[in-house]
Amino acid sequence: MTTTTDAQINGVDTATLFATIAAVRSQPELARFQFRVANRWVSGTHNRAVITGFYGAGQEHDHEHETVLDADHPAVLVGTDHGPTPAEYLLHALGACLMSGLGNIAAARGIALDEVTATVEGDIDLRGILGLDAEVRNGFEGIRVVFHVKGAAEAEKLAALVRQSQSRSAVYDVVTNGVPVSVDVATA
Amino acid sequence: MTTTTDAQINGVDTATLFATIAAVRSQPELARFQFRVANRWVSGTHNRAVITGFYGAGQEHDHEHETVLDADHPAVLVGTDHGPTPAEYLLHALGACLMSGLGNIAAARGIALDEVTATVEGDIDLRGILGLDAEVRNGFEGIRVVFHVKGAAEAEKLAALVRQSQSRSAVYDVVTNGVPVSVDVATA
């Protein structure tokens, strides 16, 4: 079992990580972030989003690379399947958030990871969004995430990484607890 | 103002759309879908997800194209910025779902769209996920979506497209109301 406390573990610079946390503790305004996405309709259910930058730690930032994301409905739902469905992007956001958190937490705890995978599955009854049954919700009925974690620690400590990530995940919080969303329209 | 009822409008085959809805009405089991994402840790906060297929309408389906999505934290958060943050993917899922729905609804109502864009912004105080303040939630405090809709109808009818999409969006439902999520771990 490896419990190295090297400054760099699992690709995480833990010295910088701890320094960042200390900086935010002393200057709480650095913790204010705003993330943004711009979406444009292409045709039918096909649309394209661009992610370029964000605000945080007191200033604007550009991402290293701009990301373009196509979303669509599949043919079976009368779409053109030019990309994943929005619902799949939601599942991805959840899995990715838990995974990114786990990477940081393992490094902070000095646990070297060998391989970590996660599957995310969401069940949905489309009678909701099709307006066919008022008793059926629009969204997923439930989501299941299953992690497989291999690393230099006992099973119990590896499992604890997932639990800690879950307890500190931005997307897990939003998806399980909900968040206020305002939707405005300009037609000019 | 155009209120054509052509079978194909805005890239949506409305005849097939209505036939699909009728089919699901008569066979509710066709409405059962399961969406899936597989994620793999790469290094640090960088991870990669693959979306290949889903279950729905009584059978397994492959997407037309496999989609690979990298997620990471930015440098200012001690990541390597190999892709958008998970929180940005969540915002994208929300914007895309409202946009896909709007495309279908406009077609169903015979309203030709010229241009539709949406911005999605989410505010987050990272003292939550950094564990620095128990009063601060992990996720977004609030999300704002702003649509700009241009099309062949009065402003009121264009705005109503957004309202209807909001009332039938899978991701909007999940993000505003929450959903049960189970997280299991296998360390074998």
pLDDT digits over A21-31, tens only?
999 999 999 99
CA A92-A94-A95 angle, to 5 degrees, is 65
Beta-carbon separation of A86 and B79 below 8 A:
no
Residues B143-182: tens digit of each pLDDT: 999 999 999 999 999 999 999 999 999 999 999 999 999 9
Bridging pattern class, strands B12-13 and B8-9: antiparallel
- At B31-51, the pLDDT tens digits run 999 999 999 999 999 999 999
Are A180 and A152 a contacting pair, CB within 8 Å?
A: no
Residue B125 and residue A24: Cβ atoms within 8 Å?
Answer: no
In one letter, which amino acid is B132? L
Does B142 sit within 8 Å of A11, measured CB to CB? no
Assess contact for A123 and B163: CB atoms under 8 A: no
CA dist A80 and A90 (Å) reads 19
Contact A74 B86 (CB under 8 A): no
- Assign 3-class secondary structure to chain B: CCCCCCCEECCEEHHHHHHHHHHHHHCHHHHEEEEEEEEEEEECCEEEEEEEEEEECCEEEEEEEEEEEEECCCHHHCCCCCCCCHHHHHHHHHHHHHHHHHHHHHHHCCCCEEEEEEEEEEEEECCCCCCCCCCCCCCCCEEEEEEEEEECCCHHHHHHHHHHHHHCCHHHHHHHHCCCEEEEEECC
Determine if residue A89 is left, alpha or beta; phi over 0 gives left, psi from -120 to 50 gives alpha, anything else beta: alpha
- The answer to whether residue B141 scores a pLDDT higher than 50 is yes
The pTM of this model reads 0.95
Question: Which of A60, A77, A100 to mutate: most B Cβ within 10 Å?
Answer: A100
pLDDT of residue B188: 64
Contact across the interface for A100 and B47, Cβ inside 8 Å: yes
Q: List CB contacts (< 8 A) between A33 and chain B.
A: 123-126
pLDDT per position as a tens digit, A147-186: 999 999 999 999 999 999 999 999 999 999 999 999 999 8
> Would the CB atoms of B34 and A121 count as touching at under 8 Å?
yes
B188 vs A112, higher pLDDT:
A112
**How much is the pLDDT for A2?**
43
pLDDT of residue A1: 39
Which residue matches tokens 């929300």? B94
Indicate yes or no: CB of B132 within 8 angstroms of CB of A21: yes
The pLDDT confidence band at residue A8, using thresholds 50, 70 and 90, is confident
A33, A127, A145, A158: best mutation site toward chain B, by most B Cβ within 10 Å? A33
Q: Residue A117 pLDDT > 50, yes or no? A: yes
pLDDT of residue B1: 39
Query: Minimal Cα distance from A69: which residue of B?
Result: B92
- The answer to whether residue A5 scores a pLDDT higher than 60 is no
A–B CB contacts, 8 A cutoff, strictly below: 499
Query: Which residues of chain A lie closer than 8 angstroms to B75, CB-CB?
Result: 64
User: Which chain A residues are within 8 Å of B36, Cβ to Cβ?
Assistant: 88, 91, 119-122
**Out of A45, A145, A181, closest to residue B183 by CB:** A145
Q: Do B25 and B40 meet the contact criterion of CB atoms below 8 Å apart?
A: no
User: Which of B12, B37, B141 is the best substitution to test chain A (most A C-beta atoms within 10 A)?
Assistant: B37
Contacts 24+ apart (CB under 8 A), A161-167: A161/A102, A161/A105, A161/A106, A161/A109, A161/A111, A162/A98, A162/A102, A162/B183, A162/B185, A163/B185, A164/A101, A164/A105, A165/A98, A165/A99, A165/A101, A165/A102, A165/A105, A166/A98, A166/B183
CA distance to partner chain B, nearest, from residue A175 (Å): 5
What separation in angstroms does the CA of B104 have from each of A101, A110, A142, B99, B131?
Answer: 37, 50, 25, 9, 42
